């Protein structure tokens, strides 16, 4: 960063901003050198500028936030193949200006022929990689049906009006940014066993370099079929046949009936309250909403705003809250259509207070004490969070105040690596989010039990936490992120930065993050997230601190009370972009 002294104008501007902040709680960025993206009539924040721009165009053409979100969803399926998708699933939390709210669940489902031991060998051990790559890893995709449900119930435009930007991007191509180029080069090598993936995304061994135009004619054709026939163009007919053929050739079990039977679900968001903000987030099959609200409830007994931000006390409180929520996640959370998730109990203050009863200042509560598990779970103490994680979040708000918070994924980077023959899109590896065996950690080091065991047609447990925060009946923040197990704690930290530390949303997103997930019993921190003295104090108190790569890519929006408009906060940890309208 350029030294302050050489930037007198910014210094003056920042001083002015600081006085505004002190007077009115400005939601502008005090630390960012570049001015934040501002939109008087709406805002779209997404993984890349092309996708965000697709959403802005729809807003400018008179569409509402839901129309724009569907446009962004389809555009990301073209511009961001590692995670944007039509071959995966996601969650969309909606809050309409008139107060209606919805949680659209288009999570993938286990195929009808799935069974709980499908990832175990004859001696009952989990076969490494089987739930992550190849046909068996693939859950029945939900995105096309889910986006349609959003549009039909809350949008104002027809599919053909919102899918066109994506078709153009696929047909005419777009200049590949550095990150995508890098990812496609990686994919070209990693997917050697999947020739269709190498052909389409690796361009037969010649993946696009940064700045090169990347065209996807097969995907353009598939999207046109969807434009013509709606979801039937995906779940039935040629595309469906090709999908089944490709999955089965890669060893999978998805059938035409699985596709035909896929239905998204319109659910009610889980809700909570924190310091005057109403929290609306994703219910099961995500663990995110319940865990977020229960952690915020546990935090109510502490005065975070009086503690040093990222000092030893602050980090201890976050860690102990997270440890307890994630311990409970492993036992009680699963697809509520198949398992009785005790949602009300977990959201209650009685639960939060009981859970924190054994908290002791200055002393770690070891994870074994929080929820004793068997040997297998203890093995997971050795598990280390992997570094490459791909999912994507986009946030949209319109001039009427309708808001959309969507997280969508193929699970791991490029999903199962299986591309549907001649159709130009990748399939997810979401089956890994099930608990392949009780107590054995998945790719995110998360352990699960009976509640998240594989059953035919069941949805696998998720951590995706698309969330909207409302105050005085108006949307104030839209927050969400990728990051697997770190999603829930990232959403919480951004919100806490804004509320407790009174950071503008840009800074709230930018600040370094920390994470604990019960097992393994370590505090993960981004580089420079904690000072050496804080780390030393935590270690004296029984905590283990591990520096890892960046955590999440939060794409958020905040309301600006001064200008009465919207600030976009794309995360600098990725190629994210905010486009105001």
Which residues sit at the interface with ligand DON, rule CB under 6 A? 389-391, 409, 411, 430, 433, 462-464, 482-484, 487
Q: Annotated catalytic residue: which of 391, 408, 413, 467?
A: 391
Nearer to ligand DON among residue 461 and residue 470 (C-beta): 461
Nearer to ligand DON among residue 83 and residue 167 (C-beta): 83
Q: Are 64 and 437 in contact (CB under 8 A)?
A: no
Angstrom CA distances, 280 to 69, 290, 488, stand at 18, 10, 13
Structure tokens given for 480: 């969400």
Query: CB of residue 375 vs ligand DON: minimum separation in angstroms?
Result: 26
Report the interhelical angle of 49-60 vs 159-172 (nearest 10°): 150
Task: Tell the burial category of 243 from Cβ atoms under 10 Å away from its Cβ (0-12, 13-18, 19+).
Answer: buried
- Cα separation of 119 and 519, whole Å? 22
Other beta carbons within 10 Å of 580: 21
Nearer to ligand DON among residue 159 and residue 576 (C-beta): 576
Nearer to ligand DON among residue 304 and residue 336 (C-beta): 336
What is the residue-wise DSSP string for 362-419?
TB---HHHHS---HHHHHGGG----S----EEEEEE-TT--EEEEEEE-SSTTTTSPB
Backbone angles phi, psi at 228, to 5 degrees: -75, -45
Structure tokens given for 316: 């201890």
Nearer to ligand DON among residue 223 and residue 551 (C-beta): 551
The answer to whether residue 486 is catalytic is: no
Nearer to ligand DON among residue 164 and residue 391 (C-beta): 391
- Cα separation of 462 and 288, whole Å? 7
Query: CB of residue 249 vs ligand DON: minimum separation in angstroms?
Result: 24
* Conformational region of residue 112, where left means phi above 0, alpha means psi within -120 to 50, and beta covers everything else: alpha
Q: In which element (H, E) is residue 102 found?
A: strand 101-106
Query: CB of residue 433 vs ligand DON: minimum separation in angstroms?
Result: 5
Query: CB of residue 430 vs ligand DON: minimum separation in angstroms?
Result: 6
Angstrom CA distances, 323 to 160, 227, 355, stand at 46, 45, 10
Catalytic positions, please? 391
């Amino acid at each position: 960063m350029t030294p302050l002294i050489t930037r007198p104008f910014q210094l003056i501007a920042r001083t002015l901003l600081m006085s505004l902040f002190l007077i009115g709680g400005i939601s502008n960025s005090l630390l960012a050198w570049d001015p934040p993206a501002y939109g008087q009539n709406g805002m779209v924040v997404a993984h890349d500028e092309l996708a965000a721009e697709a959403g802005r165009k729809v807003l400018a053409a008179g569409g509402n936030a839901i129309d724009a979100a569907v446009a962004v969803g389809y555009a990301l399926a073209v511009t961001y193949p590692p995670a944007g998708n039509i071959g995966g699933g996601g969650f969309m939390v909606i809050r309409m200006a008139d107060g209606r709210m919805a949680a659209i669940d288009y999570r993938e489902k286990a195929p009808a022929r799935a069974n709980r031991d499908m990832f175990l060998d004859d001696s009952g051990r989990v076969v490494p990689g089987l739930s992550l790559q190849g046909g068996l890893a693939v859950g029945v995709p939900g995105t096309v049906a889910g986006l349609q449900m959003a549009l039909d119930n809350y949008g104002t435009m027809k599919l053909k009006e919102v899918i066109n930007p994506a078709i153009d991007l696929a047909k005419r191509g777009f200049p590949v940014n550095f990150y995508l180029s890098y990812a496609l080069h990686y994919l070209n090598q990693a997917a050697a066993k999947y020739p269709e993936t190498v052909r389409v995304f690796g361009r037969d061994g010649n993946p696009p370099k940064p700045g090169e135009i990347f065209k996807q004619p097969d995907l353009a054709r598939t999207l046109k079929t969807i434009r013509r026939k709606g979801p039937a163009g995906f779940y039935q007919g040629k595309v469906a046949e090709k999908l089944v053929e490709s999955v089965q050739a890669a060893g999978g079990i998805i059938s035409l009936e699985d596709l035909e039977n896929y239905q998204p679900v319109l659910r009610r968001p889980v809700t909570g309250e924190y310091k005057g903000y109403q929290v609306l987030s994703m219910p099961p099959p995500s663990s995110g909403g319940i865990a977020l609200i229960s952690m915020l409830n546990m935090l109510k007994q502490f005065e975070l705003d009086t503690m040093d931000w990222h000092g030893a006390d602050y980090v201890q409180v976050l860690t102990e809250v997270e440890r307890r929520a994630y311990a409970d996640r492993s036992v009680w959370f699963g697809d509520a259509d198949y398992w009785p998730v005790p949602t009300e109990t977990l959201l209650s203050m009685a639960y939060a207070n009981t859970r924190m009863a054994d908290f002791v200042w200055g002393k770690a509560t070891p994870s074994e004490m929080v929820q004793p598990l068997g040997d297998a779970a203890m093995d997971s103490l050795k598990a280390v969070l992997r570094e490459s994680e791909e999912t994507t979040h986009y946030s949209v708000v319109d001039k009427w105040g309708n808001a959309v918070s969507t997280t969508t994924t193929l699970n791991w980077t490029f999903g199962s690596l299986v591309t549907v023959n001649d159709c130009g899109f990748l399939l997810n590896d979401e089956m890994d989010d099930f608990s392949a065996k009780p107590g054995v950690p998945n790719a995110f080091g998360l352990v699960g039990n009976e509640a998240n065991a594989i059953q035919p047609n069941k949805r696998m447990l998720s951590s995706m936490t698309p969330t909207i925060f409302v105050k005085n009946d108006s949307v104030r923040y839209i927050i969400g992120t990728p990051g697997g197990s770190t999603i829930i704690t990232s959403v919480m930290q951004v919100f806490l930065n804004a509320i407790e530390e009174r950071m503008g949303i840009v800074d709230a997103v930018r600040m370094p993050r920390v994470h604990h997930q019960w097992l393994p019993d370590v505090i993960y921190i981004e580089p420079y997230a904690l000072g050496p003295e804080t780390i030393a104090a935590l270690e004296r108190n029984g905590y283990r601190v591990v520096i890892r790569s960046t955590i999440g890519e939060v794409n958020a929006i905040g309301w600006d009370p001064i200008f009465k408009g919207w600030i976009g906060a794309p995360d600098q940890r990725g190629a994210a972009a905010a486009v105001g309208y």
